[in-house]
Amino acid sequence: MTIVEVLKLSADYLQKHGSDSSRLDAELLLAHTLRMRRLDLYLKFDRSLSEAELSAYRGLVGRRAKGDPVAYLVGHKEFMGLDFEVTAAVLVPNPDTEVLVQRAVAIARESAGAFRVADIGTGSGCIAIAIAHYAPSTEVWATDVSGEALAVAGRNIAKHGLSARIHLERGDLMQPLAGKFDLVCANLPYVAAGTALPAEVTAQPAGALYAESGGAAVIDRFLDEAPARLGPGGRVLAELDPSVVQAVSQSAERNFAGHRVHRDINGRERVLEAWF
Ligand code: SAH
């Protein structure tokens, strides 16, 4: 079988098994199997696959059909135009989170001089790294409760050459950090227990997804802690979901002078911004 034939068959198969990005999934998995870039598949579309290649690819497609995220199968994921290592210890960087990062970069670029940023619940490190990469005046302190996640974040920071400007600390929310910040970002868990989710989401760490109080508990606690850690003019950006926007807005009302909610490209409420 040739590349083009294999892609067609496997994309159809993945679609029948519930992937809503079946063609892209098939291409990413095949490029990974053949150690090619995705676009090169089209330059070599009539190259035939060996038995060994086919068998390796079938294994990956089978796991994808059962719900494993493509990013875990290929070991990396693109976010904000940058490539991140991912393992099953971290949340897969999600395009929804680009809303928060774009706002963070805009805020950081408006300010003159050194700019101190915190990233709470850093996971793969994608938020901290994208901010540091696109806003060179920033120095970033990132935390997570998961030591395994911090190990992945550390490798991503080194890979992007940002070890001098991003510092990792293990612990609860902002507790391990000293000093005040110009911007505190967080993409913390906000899914309510019992929410029905696709297999590719439930395959990700429970500690990255779920929070008590209908999903709002961790963000609430974060919004209670954050004000004391902001310098003059400091701001908070927290990713959320429409399901928790009401509860989270109440915490923001209680803790800050002002706040607003940014929507994503689909019009969904996505990021809380709060200030004094
Ligand atoms: N910021 C990353 C990861 C988000 S997943 C991204 O946007 O892709 C949420 C992360 O928060 C997980 O890595 C989880 O381990 C961490 N986390 C959960 N509760 C936490 C807490 N109380 N303090 C610090 N980190 C926490």
Is residue 112 pLDDT above 90, yes or no?
A: no
From the alpha carbon of 188, which atom of ligand 1 is closest? 9
Indicate whether residue 249 lines ligand 1 (CB < 6 A): no
Tell me whether residue 71 is in a domain. Answer: no
Residues 225 and 126 in one domain: yes
Ligand 1, atom 13: closest residue by C-alpha? 123
| pLDDT value at residue 161 | 98
Q: Is residue 127 within 6 Å of ligand 1 at its C-beta?
A: yes
Distance between CA 27 and CA 25 in Å, rounded?
5
119: CATH: 3.40.50.150
Total of domains in the chain: 2
Last residue of a domain, one of 39, 66, 93: 66
State pLDDT tens for residues 122-166: 999 999 999 999 999 999 999 999 999 999 999 999 999 999 999
199 shares a domain with 86 = yes
- Ligand 1 near 156 CB (within 6 A): no
Distance (Å, whole) CA 89 – CA 148: 6
CATH number where 8 lies: 1.10.8.10
Q: Which domain holds residue 113?
A: 80-275
Same domain, 19 and 43: yes
pLDDT for 203-247, tens place per residue? 999 999 999 999 999 999 999 999 999 999 999 999 999 999 999
pTM for this model (two decimals): 0.97
Residues 212 and 94 in one domain: yes
One-character DSSP codes across 66-94: TT--HHHHHSEEEETTEEEE--TTSPPP-
**Which of the listed residues 31, 66, 101 is the one where a domain comes to its end?**
66
Q: Please work out whether the CB of residue 126 comes within 6 Å of at least one atom of ligand 1.
A: yes
26 domain residue, yes or no: yes
Atom of ligand 1 nearest to the CA of 172: 23
